Amino acid sequence: MKTAIYPGSFDPMTLGHLDVIERAASMFDTLTVSVLNNKAKSPLFSVEERVKILQEATGHLSNVHVDSFSGLLIDYCKEKDVHIVIRGLRAVTDFEYELQVAQTNRMLSHGDVDTLFLTTSLEYAYLSSSSVKEIAAFGGDIRQCVPEFMVQRVYDKFKRGE
Binding site for ligand PNS (CB under 6 A): 7-9, 36, 72-73, 101, 104-105
Coil, helix or strand at residue 80: helix
Buried b or exposed e, range 9-31, using 16+ CB within 10 angstroms = bbbbbbbbbbbbbbbbbeebeeb
Whole-number minimum distance, CB 161 to ligand PNS, in Å?
A: 30
Whole-number minimum distance, CB 104 to ligand PNS, in Å?
A: 4
Report the residue number, 63 or 70, with the smaller CB distance to ligand PNS: 70
Report the residue number, 77 or 136, with the smaller CB distance to ligand PNS: 77
Distance CA 32, CA 54 (A): 11
Whole-number minimum distance, CB 87 to ligand PNS, in Å?
A: 7
Report the residue number, 99 or 137, with the smaller CB distance to ligand PNS: 99
Whole-number minimum distance, CB 129 to ligand PNS, in Å?
A: 7
Report the residue number, 14 or 136, with the smaller CB distance to ligand PNS: 14
Q: Are 114 and 2 in contact (CB under 8 A)?
A: no
Distance CA 46, CA 12 (A): 10
Catalytic residue numbers read: 17, 41, 90, 129
Give the distance, in angstroms, between the CA of residue 51 and the centroid of all CA atoms in the same chain: 10
Which of 119, 118, 91, 94 is closest to 24 using CA atoms?
Answer: 118
